[in-house]
Structure 1
Amino acid sequence: MHVYTNRPEISNAVAKHKENGSKIGFVPTMGALHRGHASLFNFALERCDVVVVSIFVNPTQFNNSQDLETYPRDLQADLELLEKINPNLLVFAPGTTTIYGSKIKSIDYDFEGLNMVMEGAFRPGHFEGVATVLKYLFEIVQPHFAFFGEKDYQQLQIVNKLVAIEKLPVAIIGCPISRHDDGLAESSRNMRLSQSHREIAPFIYSTLLKAKELFNDKSIGDVHQFVTNAFADSTLKLEYFEIANASTLEHTESKKANELYRAFIAVFAGDVRLIDNIALN
């Protein structure tokens, strides 16, 4: 497996594959790789000739310094997992200076409100940081396709907007949420859960499934009330539950014909923050 740490090396390696007519896929990650990431890699490998995986903990997307400090990092374990998945993967594991130079700063994008709701409201500056690092990574790797999990559905919409704003020549592919057998969405944060919180965390998804069921014949207000009541009796702390238009992410209080809706949720299990979402129709 080839591991690159600087811009010229990975850019040149990708360019050579492109000269041979290869389709390049790209999966950006922050490491702490798990089965959810593996599903993205396999999804990309099925559709592309060459797949690049980046491993970079991006400082500009953390609005909480403690969250950045405690984010799990184990490059060697990540590389061992990637080797098992496919030894032909290209890995880009840059340092912060390689990406940002001497100024670690986000670009101020106008996402037309996509970044102001849900995750954006509770994590100010988060999506600007995500978009900035992706802009730099896309420019370095120059992939034909980039793959993102739908667990971070709001991020997926932001990335599509970024590509449109910057007119980047990359197609963004959303991939289904990977879940544990008990329904908990795969996440690097899961490894920080205590045993008791890990046992109760699947309640998040089971609540979303019930909300989806209720959405068919109940009002949006009724669905909100159900979720609020459900978590009032749980040791998990509900930060937000939102039903929004699946494309615009706009808050909605009543259903309209021919529109798609999605439910979004953020929950604290102790000091570990977990997010999830589900298509409602």
Structure 2
Amino acid sequence: MLVVATIKELQNALYKHRQANKKIAVVPTMGNLHEGHLALVKTAQQHADIVVVTLFVNPTQFGANEDLDSYPRTFQDDCDKLDALNTSILFAPNIDEMYPLGGDQTTHVHVPNMTQVLCGASRPGHFDGVTTIVSKLFNITRADIAIFGEKDYQQLAVIRRMVNDLNIPIKIIGKPIVREPDGLAMSSRNGYLSEKERRIAPRLHQLLQTIKQEIIEGNHDLKSLESHAITDLIEAGFKPDYLQIYQRNELRPATENDKEIIILAAAFLGSTRLIDNIYVNRS
């Protein structure tokens, strides 16, 4: 595995592969890799000849009171995991390489409307940071394909909108959520959970499954389902951020006529913010 830290090094390496007509995939990450990330890499390898994994803890997507400084950084362990998968290239730049003028002074990419709801409502500016860094990585790599996890469903929807709106020539592939045996969605932040919190955490996914079953069985009172679920989360020990039932593709509140639905939730356990979602196809 080739490990590079500068844009010039990466582009020089990719130029040779591009000249040889190799298909290139990029997997953007912030490191602290787990099986969910590795599943993204394996998916990329199925679709491309050369897989570039990027590792960059992006400061512009963290809010003032969020966990930028404490976000887990496990570079050598990440390298070992990627090397074991025969990853082609790891791109691990520092902040000055990605934001030479500083994050506040760089051009930002903004996707309207769908970035103002859900996580965007409680994390102002977060998605501007995401779309800015992702667009930079797309331009740097000129990859043919990019792989993103569906756990961050709103992020995936926002990136798809950005690619479509800006005519970026890249195919976006979403990879289904990878879960622990008890159903908890894998996340780098799960390591923050105490033993007690870790026992409670799977309740979030269980609750989403319950709502899904209610909808499949014909319950059309979506607002009632949302409010009852919020109460259940509080009783289980969570501090809910949101739990909402949306139309999947347009990312707007679902109506009783919508067939493709997604139930999305974010909630705190202690200081740890967990997110999850589940699809519902209603006939």
Aligned to 1:93: 92
Quick check: 2:111–2:128 contact (8 Å CA) kept in 1?
no
The percent of aligned pairs where both chains have the same amino acid is 38
Two-structure CA RMSD over aligned residues (Å):
1.3
Alignment of 1:100-139 (within 5 A): 100-105=99-104, 107-139=107-139
C-alpha deviation, 1:2, in angstroms: 0.5
Aligned to 1:181: 181
2:112 counterpart SS class: coil
Distance 1:41 1:204 in 2: 27
Q: How many residues align?
A: 278
C-alpha deviation, 1:107, in angstroms: 4.2
Quick check: 2:110–2:128 contact (8 Å CA) kept in 1?
no
Aligned to 1:18: 18
Cα deviation, 1:59-92, whole Å, max 9, x if unaligned, reads 0000134411111011111101111122x42000
C-alpha deviation, 1:232, in angstroms: 2.9
Residues 1:230 and 2:249 are matched in the alignment: no
C-alpha deviation, 1:108, in angstroms: 4.6
Unaligned runs of 5+ in 1: none
1:79 counterpart SS class: helix
Distance 1:272 1:198 in 2: 10
Aligned to 2:75: 75
Q: Normalized against structure 2, the TM-score is what?
A: 0.94
Unaligned runs of 5+ in 2: none
C-alpha deviation, 1:226, in angstroms: 2.8
Distance of aligned partners of 1:134 and 1:244 in 2 relative to their CA distance in 1, 3 Å threshold: same
Equivalent residue letter for 1:192 = Y
Distance 1:110 1:78 in 2: 30
Distance of aligned partners of 1:2 and 1:109 in 2 relative to their CA distance in 1, 3 Å threshold: closer
Distance 2:107 2:277 in 1: 27
Distance 1:140 1:195 in 2: 41
Equivalent residue letter for 2:271 = D
Aligned to 2:6: 6
Distance 2:64 2:266 in 1: 16
C-alpha deviation, 1:164, in angstroms: 2.1
1:280 counterpart SS class: strand
Quick check: 2:25–2:145 contact (8 Å CA) kept in 1?
yes
2:139 counterpart SS class: helix
C-alpha deviation, 1:238, in angstroms: 1.5
